[in-house]
A and B are shown apart, each in its own frame.
Chain A
């Protein structure tokens, strides 16, 4: 079996402590990285082919290489730990069970780009995770992995934990930066991209927890070792979060390209109670839903995109035959309406409107034409918003109507749910 990358030691109950971590080889990669040149570290990252685990799948090594070598402003690493999309709980595992792995990744990233500090922007509700991280940071300072002259190599670096206040939009990289700066978290205009002018206008990389936690593996084993796992264009190990109607919901670190069917039926133990599968949301709330006949898809960025959905963050939400798609979509529509930051017109107005229409349909108050109306509203949002949040809401709604239009029609015609009747 393939060696795990980010979850290798999460089962070890002492892994969260510095002693536990060191026992399992913690910070060995940092020592190796500090004996390399920053460019060599970036080259290994490029060689690994790792793509961002936050959902967009941008090549991480390339992102790091965008950081200007010389800058009159300090450079920063931002770790995006604002894990808030419904169905996603992969970063939390790393933060709570193996915080030192994450810190090690953030320190190496900082060394690679020449940063002076790293910020962990963490979802406000992760009280336990914050405690673990802060303790781990304290331990890392004590051991000389953080602070001045790290490991005697002349590298100075600090890490701060910044707690979010509950806005989903702050997971968007520029809103996250604004939020750290103490401003209202709303997406910024790009360009300039954070690599040029990010946190406090300094060159900044923003990476997901899982991405940064993969860095020690890549440094220790070389980019090639990571790159040979899974499909060539989206290599590596990936944590899949399986939730919903399965026997064994949970986090599974598997090679990229593992078929969705295998994840659901082998790793997660199949549909709960032996019921029939109705639908799968493959990559988090904003990804279009899949039907049972589509689950042979390989879970990697390109394969899922090829069938009109997205692998996103790898949050797989499984719904069995007792699920009402209209109700499920209503919950998600409300989520997006609630989490729209309000900056741009289509997302602010459109997401709430979609939720109202679907609410009516679900409650048996829908009218003829409402399905077309909500579909059109979704189209009017798509591609016109400031950031991808509105796009996600739009794709999610349209995907559900495309695949399960009959359920919506049933709600309007019979004023009851297809599943309940």
Chain B
């Protein structure tokens, strides 16, 4: 403890804390520009100077720790004069163009000038100006406004690690910019706009759209991946009468809304809320344009004479109700299937499954995707819900698969930060694109796509051979170890180099690092478990993590899928073989739910083809577009008697539907979502609906009501217009690990759902046969499906902001391979595999291993599925110009 005197007031504080923090806590204001709690200390703006008795010069309070007996003045004449002179210095070269500056109203320079500057100007010389520079598609640099606080360059060095913005030139000519003034390529650059205390870095997508004081802010959750960052969505009534309206709002009168429309104009990071610390990825920050899009479904549509025409809710709902009722009556409940999306809220999904189980009477519920997991595997995933916070402080990080980087950039960024700033041991096993490669030292495990199971088998082998497992497996759990080892007979580390491309040393040292870590973490995403072996991979991962003790004590595993609420939809029982809370279908806890397991998506497609399935209810998914074999899915769906689609857009699947119902975006609805940690978070209504749509769960409820069934809530007939609270209440009663969940308990930081009560089955033997690398001299390259970091599905494909950000449908070719083929960036090439060919624009990169070609499969313009023979799995190929 230290006793310090602050402006004559004696206070006891912890020694070593910064004067700035101590003074602010004690209620004394100290202005700052360069200081940011989450960035390194720079102490360069000199706004926070204070006077300390016995020290010759004023001291920067942001860089000076308190010491016992210190006497500090924050408002002495010297301090006041120093502040005023810093502001004078900053303003002599500033363009003073506040009237047209986006930052006006939330500008630190404005605010501090207002508060601390002396009146009058003494500068009559020419102001310093810099040339205009192209900063890429999302950023416009107004660098003449820059005050050189270097928050942006510190962010890019310390947090994103991509050095996208740095300091150019020296002294008075110091300019923040990109190396060689080249357009910026970074998925985190939007954060520098938010960090900029003045209007020097502006968002091209927000420029001149609004005065900031006209914006209405709502704290909600980003829908674009499973991290679930806390964002503040800012919307505005766009109207000629906007100002008038705002006044009437303040006066408490209801404004006339007829001629106004509301739009989301920007998203900003809610720093310090939930999992969020300064950063959003640009997909999340700029992915709001689809909400404002004019191509959204505006009203229900019904197929008449083969064409979808606008209809009314009443007509559409009664058609759906009668059609579903008649199919159920004639062909049985099993002939109806329902698919939903990992993007829908918990409420949506809960009501959806309840409708299918209680009203239709079937377990035919699924989420289409690149993998399909049974209940036992999904239960294993419950043990792989590590915390983002853990990644930040881990000392050993293994990333399995490329999609952690492309699908959940924030998690990947934290891994990079841990490695860069704290020297954490970062190991990556990425058969495709490695987005962490550019700036982060790491050990790279080169493995051949398709050998994921072998990678895990090899690591497990190395753990067992090196006795790197938890002590107990050598003793009382030896039997369990034997169970695991029984499946590894086919794994001989020495062969792997040839078979899976794995170096023995790499595998052994990785196993050792994971074992020796005091705080380890393994991250994996969709692409690592995709394919036919999903179940085995998950089970093998579970075995490996169990042996290593990565079940929370010394290490964690984190499954980080692309879909924003995939974890929540699993919790809600969107599956053919389990109910909400992972209750097995047919078990005695299942109660009145149908006893037979339903069809998963892979079974629904053939069932539709051969007539076993007659109707499909689609909530927020577009399998025709996202399927790895589009023709097969389309043909199957065409066979169906009846298709209902509720969505935001006229998707490829909706085009086939008999009834299309307009849903609402995350910004227009409330509800809860669950992130990859199992953190239940709250969506809030950022704006009134732009279309005559309804929340997904409300549509289902209304369909049920039209069928004469009561769905809400607790099976009574109470129908309320906006009943999320009631739905959530029912969820918390039904799903044991959501028992504590209420809107109040969630708050803005979210509430961790507690899955510890769900018992895991004993370890199982997973038979792993070493992957055999296939080779074909006519097809020398490995073609691997990849993902565009700025896109992740139906919403993003219709988001003009994200389409602007995306580099476009590019085929990634490794630089030396490109050179061997005489390729340069932007060339059009043809990729040929045995399954098909694809023409596209090439992008040369060092982020992949030689011999690998990455083709994004989440870019609708690129018909990449043709290359993979309907499996979205790696294949052999070659390039032709």
Q: Which A residues form the contact surface with B (CB < 8 A)?
A: 167, 184, 189, 337-346, 348-353, 356-357, 360, 373, 380, 383-386
Once bound together, how far apart are the Cα atoms of A184 and B148, in whole Å?
A: 15
List 30 interface pairs A-B (beta carbons < 8 Å), by A numbering.
A167-B170, A189-B41, A189-B42, A337-B171, A337-B172, A338-B171, A339-B171, A340-B172, A341-B170, A342-B148, A342-B167, A342-B171, A343-B42, A345-B44, A345-B47, A345-B147, A346-B85, A348-B148, A348-B171, A348-B172, A349-B89, A349-B93, A352-B172, A353-B92, A353-B123, A373-B122, A380-B85, A383-B57, A384-B86, A386-B44
Of A351, A352, A384, which one neighbours B82 at CB under 8 angstroms? A384
Given A345-B90, A384-B82: A351 and B147 interface contact (C-beta under 8 Å): no
**B32-64 interface bits toward A, Cβ cutoff 8 Å, 1 = contact, 0 = none:** 000000000111111101000000111010010
Of B46, B56, B128, B147, which one neighbours A346 at CB under 8 angstroms? B46
The 9 closest A-B pairs by CB, nearest first: A342-B174, A380-B85, A349-B89, A340-B171, A352-B172, A383-B57, A342-B171, A344-B44, A356-B125
Given A167-B170, A385-B46: A350 and B89 interface contact (C-beta under 8 Å): yes
Once bound together, how far apart are the Cα atoms of A66 and B604, in whole Å?
A: 75
Given A346-B86, A346-B89: A189 and B170 interface contact (C-beta under 8 Å): no
The closest CB in chain B to the CB of A166 belongs to B170
Once bound together, how far apart are the Cα atoms of A352 and B127, in whole Å?
A: 11
The closest CB in chain A to the CB of B65 belongs to A191
Complex contacts, A344 vs chain B, CB 8 Å: 43-46
Once bound together, how far apart are the Cα atoms of A419 and B636, in whole Å?
A: 98
Please give the distance in Å from A252's CB to the nearest CB on chain B: 33
The closest CB in chain A to the CB of B90 belongs to A345
Please give the distance in Å from B150's CB to the nearest CB on chain A: 8
* Residue pair A342, B92 in contact (C-beta under 8 Å): no
Instruction: Answer whether residue B173 sits at the interface, using C-beta atoms and an 8 A cutoff.
Output: yes
Output the residue of A345, A348, A350 with the most chain B CB within 10 A: A345
Besides A339-B171, A345-B44, 17 other A-B contacts (C-beta < 8 A): A167-B170, A189-B42, A342-B167, A342-B169, A342-B171, A342-B173, A343-B42, A345-B86, A345-B89, A346-B86, A348-B89, A348-B172, A353-B89, A380-B89, A384-B46, A384-B49, A384-B57
* Residue pair B172, A384 in contact (C-beta under 8 Å): no
* Residue pair A349, B172 in contact (C-beta under 8 Å): yes
* Residue pair B171, A386 in contact (C-beta under 8 Å): no
The closest CB in chain A to the CB of B147 belongs to A345
* Residue pair B92, A345 in contact (C-beta under 8 Å): no
Complex contacts, B93 vs chain A, CB 8 Å: 349
Given A189-B63, A353-B123, A380-B88: A345 and B45 interface contact (C-beta under 8 Å): yes
- Could you tell me the dominant secondary structure of chain B's interface residues? loop
Complex contacts, A338 vs chain B, CB 8 Å: 171
* Residue pair A349, B92 in contact (C-beta under 8 Å): yes
* Residue pair B172, A345 in contact (C-beta under 8 Å): no
Complex contacts, A341 vs chain B, CB 8 Å: 170-171
Complex contacts, B147 vs chain A, CB 8 Å: 345
* Residue pair B41, A348 in contact (C-beta under 8 Å): no
Once bound together, how far apart are the Cα atoms of A300 and B221, in whole Å?
A: 67
Complex contacts, B148 vs chain A, CB 8 Å: 342-343, 345, 348
* Residue pair B43, A189 in contact (C-beta under 8 Å): yes
**B159-190 interface bits toward A, Cβ cutoff 8 Å, 1 = contact, 0 = none:** 00000000101111110000000000000000
**B116-146 interface bits toward A, Cβ cutoff 8 Å, 1 = contact, 0 = none:** 0000001101001000000000000000000
- Which residues between 167 and 222 of chain B lie within 8 Å of chain A, taking CB atoms? 167, 169-174
- Which residues between 451 and 499 of chain B lie within 8 Å of chain A, taking CB atoms? none
Once bound together, how far apart are the Cα atoms of A345 and B147, in whole Å?
A: 8
Complex contacts, A353 vs chain B, CB 8 Å: 89, 92, 123, 125
Output the residue of B81, B82, B125, B170 with the most chain A CB within 10 A: B170
Complex contacts, A167 vs chain B, CB 8 Å: 170
* Residue pair A342, B172 in contact (C-beta under 8 Å): yes
Please give the distance in Å from B563's CB to the nearest CB on chain A: 41
Complex contacts, A343 vs chain B, CB 8 Å: 42, 44, 148
Please give the distance in Å from B170's CB to the nearest CB on chain A: 5
Once bound together, how far apart are the Cα atoms of A247 and B846, in whole Å?
A: 63
Once bound together, how far apart are the Cα atoms of A386 and B123, in whole Å?
A: 23
Complex contacts, A337 vs chain B, CB 8 Å: 171-172
Complex contacts, B86 vs chain A, CB 8 Å: 345-346, 384
Once bound together, how far apart are the Cα atoms of A338 and B169, in whole Å?
A: 11
The closest CB in chain A to the CB of B172 belongs to A352
The closest CB in chain A to the CB of B45 belongs to A345
* Residue pair A184, B167 in contact (C-beta under 8 Å): yes
* Residue pair B174, A348 in contact (C-beta under 8 Å): yes
Once bound together, how far apart are the Cα atoms of A343 and B60, in whole Å?
A: 14
The closest CB in chain B to the CB of A360 belongs to B125
Once bound together, how far apart are the Cα atoms of A349 and B174, in whole Å?
A: 10
Complex contacts, A351 vs chain B, CB 8 Å: 171-172
Output the residue of B44, B57, B63, B167 with the most chain A CB within 10 A: B44
Once bound together, how far apart are the Cα atoms of A360 and B81, in whole Å?
A: 26
Please give the distance in Å from A362's CB to the nearest CB on chain B: 14
Once bound together, how far apart are the Cα atoms of A340 and B89, in whole Å?
A: 14
Complex contacts, A357 vs chain B, CB 8 Å: 125
* Residue pair B58, A383 in contact (C-beta under 8 Å): yes
Once bound together, how far apart are the Cα atoms of A340 and B44, in whole Å?
A: 13
Complex contacts, A345 vs chain B, CB 8 Å: 44-47, 86, 89-90, 147-148
Please give the distance in Å from B34's CB to the nearest CB on chain A: 9
Given A345-B90, A380-B85: A352 and B43 interface contact (C-beta under 8 Å): no
The closest CB in chain A to the CB of B93 belongs to A349
The closest CB in chain B to the CB of A353 belongs to B92
Please give the distance in Å from A345's CB to the nearest CB on chain B: 5
The closest CB in chain B to the CB of A373 belongs to B122
Complex contacts, B60 vs chain A, CB 8 Å: 386
Given A342-B174, A345-B44: A384 and B92 interface contact (C-beta under 8 Å): no
Once bound together, how far apart are the Cα atoms of A384 and B59, in whole Å?
A: 8
Complex contacts, B167 vs chain A, CB 8 Å: 184, 342
Once bound together, how far apart are the Cα atoms of A339 and B90, in whole Å?
A: 19
Please give the distance in Å from B118's CB to the nearest CB on chain A: 11
Please give the distance in Å from B58's CB to the nearest CB on chain A: 6
The closest CB in chain A to the CB of B169 belongs to A342
Complex contacts, A384 vs chain B, CB 8 Å: 46, 49, 57-58, 82, 85-86
Once bound together, how far apart are the Cα atoms of A291 and B41, in whole Å?
A: 43
Complex contacts, A356 vs chain B, CB 8 Å: 125
Please give the distance in Å from A191's CB to the nearest CB on chain B: 9
Please give the distance in Å from B484's CB to the nearest CB on chain A: 39
Once bound together, how far apart are the Cα atoms of A351 and B171, in whole Å?
A: 9
- Which residues between 765 and 796 of chain B lie within 8 Å of chain A, taking CB atoms? none
Once bound together, how far apart are the Cα atoms of A385 and B45, in whole Å?
A: 9
The closest CB in chain A to the CB of B56 belongs to A383
- Which residues between 703 and 761 of chain B lie within 8 Å of chain A, taking CB atoms? none
Complex contacts, A373 vs chain B, CB 8 Å: 122
Once bound together, how far apart are the Cα atoms of A357 and B125, in whole Å?
A: 8
Once bound together, how far apart are the Cα atoms of A348 and B89, in whole Å?
A: 9
Output the residue of B45, B82, B89 with the most chain A CB within 10 A: B89
Please give the distance in Å from A332's CB to the nearest CB on chain B: 15
The closest CB in chain A to the CB of B128 belongs to A352
The closest CB in chain B to the CB of A356 belongs to B125
Complex contacts, B125 vs chain A, CB 8 Å: 353, 356-357, 360
The closest CB in chain A to the CB of B62 belongs to A189
**B248-260 interface bits toward A, Cβ cutoff 8 Å, 1 = contact, 0 = none:** 0000000000000
* Residue pair A349, B90 in contact (C-beta under 8 Å): yes
Complex contacts, A350 vs chain B, CB 8 Å: 89
Output the residue of B122, B128, B172 with the most chain A CB within 10 A: B172
